Amino acid sequence: MKAPPRYVDFHCHLDLYPDLGTAIAEAVKERIFSLAVTTTPKAWPRNHSLTKNTRYVRAALGLHPQLVAERMHELPLWEHYLPETRYVGEVGLDAGPRFFRSFEAQKQVFARILTRCAEAGGKILTVHSVRATRDTLDLIEKHLPPGRGAVVLHWFTGSLSEARRAVELGCYFSVNAQMMRDDRRSNLVRSLPSERLLTETDGPFTEVDGRPSRPTDIRATVATLAQCRKTSTEIMTQTISNNLKRLVETGI
Ligand code: MN
């Protein structure tokens, strides 16, 4: 029988490491279910072809909100590749100061992405929502009805009440180590229902000991999450793999 994954890294940029093939091989060797997100649909063919026959790594088709200003014209290419994938991301909204100018365009792009996913059905999305939690949830509520797809909020930074709203909308949360660096954040992570938790590194954008994180750092993330939620690492590891199994097998 095929060995189930030991760990889950539901949001990592494997193609931003020095060598994509090596990063994939490392995740496979360590049995880490890794969702290799992309930031532009142009990156899809290579990520897809290198991951599709692996046991534990899957690629996601993305159009990153921080790139919408320059790459909005790639939306038709994103639509073209959509039938090839079950996983979508990185997509979403970013209202941070550097990207606020493109916010209206980002909303249009994200609305279209959600609509296409709802039409297709069965997609699983990893969603960025920096400084835009409310708008992100509004668009999900409007364009991706329950049962037409599943959303995993990556590096969620909203409030406790926004987290509750996301839970009501059926969202999962992929938690990284930087989300548990202070009390306020840890408090939010503690408030999430355990059946909606996944883990991520967001490598190489997060840091571990002053260096970019690697897929294998997910072990430490699970340990930190267990500590944060006052349970054992074994129970947390099992919870995360149960959640992944349910999400992948049932799409809800
Ligand atoms: Mn990311």
Output b/e per residue, 43-76; b: 16+ Cβ within 10 A. bbeebbebbeeeebbbbbbbbbbbbbeebeebbe
Q: Ligand 1 centre and the CA of 1: distance in Å?
A: 33
What would you report as the CA-atom Rg of the chain, rounded to the nearest whole angstrom?
17
DSSP for 49-65, please give it: HHHTTSSSEEE-B---G
Q: How much is the pLDDT for 162?
A: 98
Q: Ligand 1 centre and the CA of 82: distance in Å?
A: 19
Q: Ligand 1 centre and the CA of 246: distance in Å?
A: 23
Q: How much is the pLDDT for 2?
A: 73
* Nearest residue to 113 via CA among 156, 69, 78, 77: 78
Structure tokens at 75: 């939306």
Q: Ligand 1 centre and the CA of 204: distance in Å?
A: 9
- Which stretches in the chain have pLDDT values below 70? 1
Q: Ligand 1 centre and the CA of 23: distance in Å?
A: 16
Give strand ranges (E) for 75-196. Answer: 87-94, 123-130, 149-154, 172-175
The burial of 230, by beta-carbon neighbours within 10 Å (0-12 exposed, 13-18 middle, 19 or more buried), is given as exposed
Structure tokens at 100: 């606020």
Q: Ligand 1 centre and the CA of 202: distance in Å?
A: 5
Q: Ligand 1 centre and the CA of 154: distance in Å?
A: 8
Q: Ligand 1 centre and the CA of 34: distance in Å?
A: 13
Q: Ligand 1 centre and the CA of 13: distance in Å?
A: 7
Q: Identify the helix (H) or strand (E) that includes residue 198.
A: strand 197-199
Q: Ligand 1 centre and the CA of 200: distance in Å?
A: 10
Q: How much is the pLDDT for 251?
A: 87
Q: Ligand 1 centre and the CA of 80: distance in Å?
A: 22
Q: Ligand 1 centre and the CA of 11: distance in Å?
A: 6
